[in-house]
Structure 1
């Protein structure tokens, strides 16, 4: 008689994280473990249940500090763990990590794992920074295994003495890897590409930069808009697609930036898009001059579709892009260097072609989802064997 599969609980604060960040992974793991996905309620949680064919359980958790709700969430997690007796709990977002690691330790869950997909405290100051550091230290103390998503996150954890536990980056980084069959240069037909170009009033011989992310200053949008606006005055056949939701568009700090966006006919805003592949397919280069990143999925997805990246020389981005191999690294917050780099790639087609050839290979070799999933499965098995 076959022994039952070990119970594995994957936990995030909000269901969107489970839906978007772990797409496909939970279904794969369910072949080897009895997987339950836990987060607050929402349509995304039901989407996870239907797509991944895993159990789901809703426990409301707030992203922000809320003492009453946090205690309630902690108690519900503790009771659920005591009742269900999982072998492994594994969290991926900050509040879910803190609450589930504490509740798991108290409930006697043998393997308690947390993945840091990014850190909040390095970008805060004063009381809030100290509070967040204390919370991350408590999280790590209660966890049995701590995983930084990438090298930069690992260095920050070490620099701030968050934990003395071993810190292991699974595979080559990134929480889920990339589906290189789904994100493929030939995934979108020529007809579909032409239709999208017509819709956006882009000519086939236009050179297209694409940005994917929230339209906020921290993503380097101010520098990007300034650099592109200057570039487009000298080069008439360039376009910039901005794909992502606007946030605080009327903020005084952003007023000039959005004024430029609205008044430059070569800048095209398309808002948030569930399906990003067609936009990659009509573009030449991804651009992400962000101030900070965990491990940016957009750079991986675009790379899998054959797009080189112009990205900030920061943790996460520089773990994917090798300078002048599959893209270019630029200093953050420097629009002049960004403009020079954009111009270089625009006027040297042979150089662009060599970057494009390397873009997909780099992602397929190091960040294929199958590699990440298999390494994660091994990590679970090793942890259980050590008990």
Structure 2
């Protein structure tokens, strides 16, 4: 029996393993010997992932910030792991893991070095920081043998920025890093009793029209604009509520003092923090509002669509590949509070039957283009195409 080739998947932190690759590594175990690498922090996330996927995960301390000494130590550690494990493929996700693992894998002579891009934080950077991040991105792509942006819009941005060339870059399937399990994100799975209990717990009534945001409560997700828009909407329509599902990042990307204070004090804004299962919160809501500044391919919009919610999203890559304007939601300009107010009001004023039809169209489209098994099969096909080509021997380049 032929032994399986070794596949190593790398993310910066454990929550990214769960958020980006849930279920995928178990699927790939049928075809490859799979190892994960991520930071040892976020222990609960790491344990949850290893228990669910039943794969070996090697801890390597990596940070999401610029930390030269820690980054160098992580690079050395990754190099030693790759030299010892001799993988057929190293496939990385998230910016820091991508830079470190692609460089380490090239130095270690790994023949196939793949990096998935699920967003470009550098797009919001300016000045010297932007110049530095641009150079780091180019190094990452130069060390990789294939680059996989998880949306077509992101591919266009990468080529416009001249980070790499067309021969090295490819979108897997229709986009998305992992697709979505539409049998799990199914509104009928949440019972009326469960929905009523959650609404009662959160102080919501059947008269309320509930807008929901799910994600990190940070500036880059458009939270400052969302808070201003909702305050105005609620003045006009007191039976509106804004449900915020997610945690803050007060160091990396804090929201404004006004937004923070308003979230704490506004009686119709309901923050519930991080939730392991977001489906009940979709189920008690009428629409998702997701005014992000930048994305790769946003899972939350896939999830909301699968749960039959119309969505208001920014006109950015990923979002505008899931939502068709006036069909399964609305697309608005980035950082535009006034447009957000107009379209939140449009959804609020919509006939319930039209709102229902919009949600149904969302689910139909997600099933047809982004079902999880389809995305996994497309990625497996990519691996197998690589495998069937003539492979260089595993050798060191230094």
Structure-2 separation of matches of 1:106 and 1:99: 11
Alignment of 1:36-51 (within 5 A): 36-42=35-41, 43=43, 44-51=45-52
Query: Which residues of 2 match residues 1-387 of structure 1 at below 5 A?
Result: 2-42=1-41, 43=43, 44-164=45-165, 165-248=167-250, 254-349=256-351, 350-387=353-390
After TM superposition, give the deviation of residue 247 of structure 1 in Å.
4.0
- Partner SS state of residue 226, structure 1: helix
**In structure 1, C-alpha distance between the alignment counterparts of 2:263 and 2:18, rounded to whole Å:** 31
Deviation for aligned residue 1:19: 2.3
Do the aligned residues in 2 keep the contact of 1:345 with 1:351 (CA within 8 Å)? Answer: no
CA distance in 2, matches of 1:272, 1:322: 29
Equivalent pairs counted in the alignment come to 385
Q: Is the 2:209–2:348 Cα contact (8 Å) retained in structure 1?
A: yes
Moved more, 228-237 or 271-280: 228-237
Could you tell which deviates more after superposition, 43-52 or 177-186? 43-52
Q: In the alignment, is the contact (CA less than 8 A) between 1:326 and 1:358 conserved in 2?
A: yes
**5+ residue gaps, structure 2:** 391-398
**SS class of match (2:22):** coil
For 2:333 and 2:8, the matched residues in 1 are separated by 40
- Identify the residue that residue 393 of structure 2 maps to in structure 1: none
Summarize the Cα distance change of 1:96–1:216 in structure 2 as closer, same or farther, 3 Å threshold. Answer: closer
Structure 1 residues 315-324 or 240-249, which shifts more?
240-249
Structure 1: 5+ residue runs without aligned partners? none
Describe the SS at the equivalent of 2:62.
Answer: coil
Give the deviation of 1:336 after TM superposition.
Answer: 1.8
Distance 1:74 1:314 in 2: 33
Whole-angstrom CA distance in 2 between matches of 1:247 and 1:97: 22
- The structural deviation recorded for 1:152 is 2.3
CA distance in 1, matches of 2:262, 2:47: 41
Equivalent residues of 1:120, 1:132 under 8 A apart: no
> Is contact 1:111–1:384 with CA below 8 Å preserved after alignment?
no
Q: CA deviation at 1:218?
A: 2.4
Moved more, 366-375 or 127-136: 127-136
- Flag as ranges the 4+ runs of structure 1 deviating above 4 A: none
What's the CA shift string for 1:305-356, capped at 9, x where partnerless? 1111011111121111110111111112222221111111111214312211
Measured on the aligned residues, the alpha-carbon RMSD in Å equals: 1.8
Residue by residue, what CA displacement relative to the aligned partner does 1:163-193 show, whole Å, maximum 9, x if unpaired? 1143111111111111111110112111000
2:147–2:169 contact (8 Å) kept in structure 1: yes
By how many angstroms is 1:45 displaced? 2.9
- Residues 34, 56 of structure 2: 8 Å contact kept: yes
TM-superposed deviation, 1:196: 0.5
> 1:218-257: per-residue Cα shift (whole Å, max 9, x none)?
22222222222222222232211111113449x9972323
Distance (Å, rounded) in 1 between the aligned partners of 2:156 and 2:67? 29
**Aligned-partner SS, 1:306:** coil
Which residue does 2:394 correspond to in 1?
none
Contact 1:308 1:359 in 2 (8 A): yes
Determine helix, strand or coil for the equivalent of 1:382: helix
Alpha-carbon distance in 2 for matches of 1:320, 1:60: 35
CA distance in 1, matches of 2:33, 2:63: 26
Would you say the 8 A contact 1:218–1:290 is kept in 2? Answer: yes
Instruction: Identify if the C-alpha distance between structure 1 residues 301 and 7 changes in structure 2 by more than 3 Å, giving closer, same or farther.
Output: same
Equivalent pair of 2:149/2:296 in contact (CA under 8 Å): no
Q: TM-score, normalised by structure 1?
A: 0.95
Shift in Å, 1:33:
0.5
Whether contact under 8 Å (1:16, 1:45) holds in the other structure is yes
